[in-house]
């Protein structure tokens, strides 16, 4: 396994029902904190959170199939439902009966997809620049990556999604070794298969294959209304902008919300210290809930 800056973990492997290897970090002990990444990141996004929490909590952070250190099959479905199924199978395999869920980007739909089906296993929720509901908003720079032929050339051929994220998803310039950490798993056409499929799987119309799954996820959010929620939001996110932040606050008015006006999509890169200051108190309250 290659080495990555600020990532001193030894991932473990779980084999999915269709025989693919899913990589995940499992560090520390205590109440599980399960962190769910999006596209085009991987468990590396949560490296500093794991390091800060593992003394007091069990940190479980999977790499979705096609992402990070997991297998990258070229002919897998890469649909929202499939990712939820893999996530569910992993947590069942690990016998996670109660946990705090942290979600970012596509991790919102995947993680909340699991949580809405198993609310009794959710002790609390941390929401970071994500969505788990339908929206008509889609940034043009993302929409272009969905176009037939051109999208594949941009995302898989020219690395025009994962690479731009290292400077477009942050306000603070990434150090070269951190940029390499985000990009190394996506270093070829074949290894960028999930990056492209995630973009294609954004359901914007009812005829989309993942539309009904997202509707189910959205409708299940009401089952989580009584759960403690912490929202930490980067205000300069070009994708998950203030519209999405407002929608989370509307749906969960009791949530503890923090808005960081000088942070981008990768809020854990731009506002790490601020988020880490908030997490211990919130997690402690979840543990007592």
- Sheet of 12-15: strands edge to edge? 12-15, 21-27, 58-62, 32-36, 99-105, 122-130, 229-234, 256-260
DSSP states of 136-181: S---HHHHGGGSTTHHHIIIIIS-TTHHHHHHHS-SSPPPHHHHHH
Burial class (CB in 10 A: 0-12, 13-18, 19+), 205: exposed
The answer to the question of residue 126 being in a domain is yes
At residue 225, the pLDDT reads: 96
Give which of 129, 114, 116 is closest to 39, Cα–Cα: 129
Domain membership flag for residue 5: no
Asked whether residue 178 is assigned to any structural domain, the reply reads yes
Question: Is 7 part of any domain?
Answer: no
With respect to residue 172, please indicate whether it lies within any of the assigned structural domains: yes
Is 98 a domain residue?
yes
For residue 1, tell me if it sits in a domain.
no
- The range of the structural domain enclosing residue 214 comes to 12-288
Residue 83: C-alpha distances to residues 94, 114, 136, 197 (Å): 17, 10, 22, 12
Tokens of 229: 């929620």
So what's the pLDDT on residue 287?
82
Asked whether the beta carbons of 168 and 238 are under 8 A apart, the reply is yes
Length of the chain: 289
The whole-number pLDDT of residue 142 equals 83
In whole angstroms, how far apart are CA 18 and each of 61, 74, 75, 213? 21, 13, 12, 20
Domain membership flag for residue 131: yes
What are the average pLDDT values for consecutive 10-residue runs of the chain, which has 289 residues?
Answer: 92 97 98 98 98 98 98 97 98 98 98 98 98 87 79 92 96 98 98 96 93 97 98 96 97 98 98 98 89
CATH code of the domain covering residue 78: 3.40.50.1820
Counted domains in the chain: 1
């Amino acid at each position: 396994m290659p080495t990555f800056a600020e990532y001193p973990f030894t991932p473990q492997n779980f084999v999915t029902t269709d025989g693919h290897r899913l990589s995940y970090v499992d560090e520390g002990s205590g109440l599980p904190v399960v962190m769910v990444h999006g596209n085009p990141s991987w468990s590396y996004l949560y490296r500093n959170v794991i390091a800060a929490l593992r003394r007091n909590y069990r940190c479980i952070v999977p790499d979705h199939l096609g992402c990070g250190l997991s297998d990258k099959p070229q002919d897998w479905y890469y649909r929202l439902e499939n990712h939820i199924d893999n996530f569910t199978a992993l947590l069942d395999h690990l016998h996670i009966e109660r946990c705090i869920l942290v979600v970012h980007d596509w991790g919102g739909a995947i993680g909340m997809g699991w949580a809405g089906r198993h609310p009794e296993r959710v002790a609390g929720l941390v929401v970071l620049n994500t969505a788990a509901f339908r929206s008509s908003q889609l940034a043009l720079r993302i929409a272009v990556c969905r176009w037939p032929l051109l999208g594949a050339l941009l995302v898989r051929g020219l690395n025009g999604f994962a690479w731009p994220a290292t400077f477009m998803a942050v306000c603070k310039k990434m150090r070269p070794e951190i940029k390499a950490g985000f990009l190394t798993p996506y270093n070829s056409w074949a290894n960028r298969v999930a990056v492209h499929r995630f973009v294609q799987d954004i359901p914007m119309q009812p005829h989309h294959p993942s539309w009904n799954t997202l509707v189910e996820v959205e409708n299940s959010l009401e089952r989580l209304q009584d759960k403690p929620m912490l929202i930490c939001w980067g205000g300069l996110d070009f994708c998950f902008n203030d519209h999405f932040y407002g929608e989370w606050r509307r749906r969960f008015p009791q949530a503890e919300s923090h808005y960081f006006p000088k942070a981008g999509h990768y809020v854990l890169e731009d506002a790490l210290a601020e988020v880490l200051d908030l997490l211990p108190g919130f997690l402690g309250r979840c543990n007592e809930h």
